[in-house]
Amino acid sequence: MGTRWSARIVVNDPAQAESLTRGLQAVLDGVVATMSHWDAASNLSRFNRAPPGEWQQLPPDLATVLRAGLDIAARSRGAFDPAIGHLVNHWGFGCPGEAGAAGSAPDAWRSIALDGDAARRTADVRLDLSGIAKGYAVDAMALHLTRLGLRDFLVEAGGELRGEGCKPDGTPWWVDLETVPGLAMPLTRVALCGLSAATSGDYRRYRLEAGTRHSHSIDPRSGHPIANGVASVTVLHRTAMAADAWATALTVLGQAAGMALARAENLAVLMITRRGEGAVEALSPAFAAMLE
């Protein structure tokens, strides 16, 4: 996944730390082996190489992520698209040396058919799960710890977080949400107890080309990097996978359409949009209720 991870776990025996670290690393390695678009040997890469029309049996976790991605693609009307791979490569955010199609049709996700754990491409589209797989990895870490009988922990991978239970003193896992570099915005602190947080920001990855800054967030509908002024979107959700994908979708939609969808879906969302030299902060009703 090319990112760092961390975990804070309440245990009775500190000697468990080493085995827990190995176990969590194995979980993340498994997600990479299944869903990495950088690894030619991953299940996802093999699926992308299969001829269109040919059914492929997917590992259950890949099928789970793809199913969730297709669901959010439909609910966001294509603002999130798990089949955006050609556009990602075209704009230089994919694997080096892999060309992408600038004119990829909108709604590429509709060219993915899923039946149980089997899937096929019905056209020349390319899966890229970067907007959801990191969140799934955090959920997989949490599931691993839960299966070991652990109930109190805070896990994180690449800035996506999930908290369960409480700290040893009985207080919640309080976390400060990411701030946008260069913007003087107040810190927002939330309690992650049975809750996940994911943030999408225009400051994380971008490319400079002929003096123009291209965000890594690409609008699948237009085929171009976003230019809607959205600096960051944080979503709080029960699962990190859903929070991750919704943060991506709402970033693409922008403030007006994004916050309207957040209200319709009852999503807890904090959106920061650039305005001149400053920024405007917008909170969905569900997010505001969590701060009360």
Q: Is the pLDDT of residue 206 over 70?
A: no
| Confidence bin at 40 (pLDDT 50/70/90) | very high
Q: pLDDT tens digits for 45-66?
A: 999 999 999 999 999 999 999 9
- Comparing 2 with 22, the larger pLDDT belongs to 22
- What's the whole-number mean pLDDT along residues 4-20? 94
In this prediction, residue 182 has a pLDDT band, given cuts at 50, 70 and 90, of confident
Q: Which amino acid is at 75?
A: R
- φ/ψ of 285, rounded to 5, equals -55, -40
pLDDT over threshold 60, residue 207: no
Cβ atoms of 258 and 248 closer than 8 Å: no
Q: What DSSP letter does each residue of 97-133 carry, written as one string?
A: T----TTPPS-GGGGEEEETTEEEESSS-B---TTTH
Question: Poorest-confidence range of 15-29, 112-126, 171-185?
Answer: 171-185
Residue 215: pLDDT band (50, 70, 90) is low
> Looking at the predicted structure, is the pLDDT value of residue 102 above 80?
no
Collect all residues with Cβ–Cβ distance below 8 Å to 167 and sequence separation of at least 6.
Answer: 8, 10, 152, 173
pLDDT score for 96: 56
CATH label, 166-290, candidates 3.40.190.10, 3.10.520.10, 3.40.50.300, 3.50.50.60: 3.10.520.10
Which one, of 285, 248, 244, 245, lies nearest residue 264 by Cα?
285
Q: Could you give the CA distance from residue 124 to residue 65 in angstroms, rounded to a whole number?
A: 20
* Phi, psi torsion values for 113, nearest 5 degrees: -105, 135
Is a pLDDT exceeding 90 seen at residue 199? Answer: yes
**104, pLDDT greater than 70:** no
pLDDT at 253 (0 to 100): 97
Is 179 annotated among the ligand-binding residues? no
Q: Does the annotation flag 3 for ligand binding? A: no
- pTM (two decimals): 0.92
Q: Edge-to-edge strands of the sheet including 160-164?
A: 5-9, 153-157, 160-164, 195-201, 230-237, 268-275, 278-283
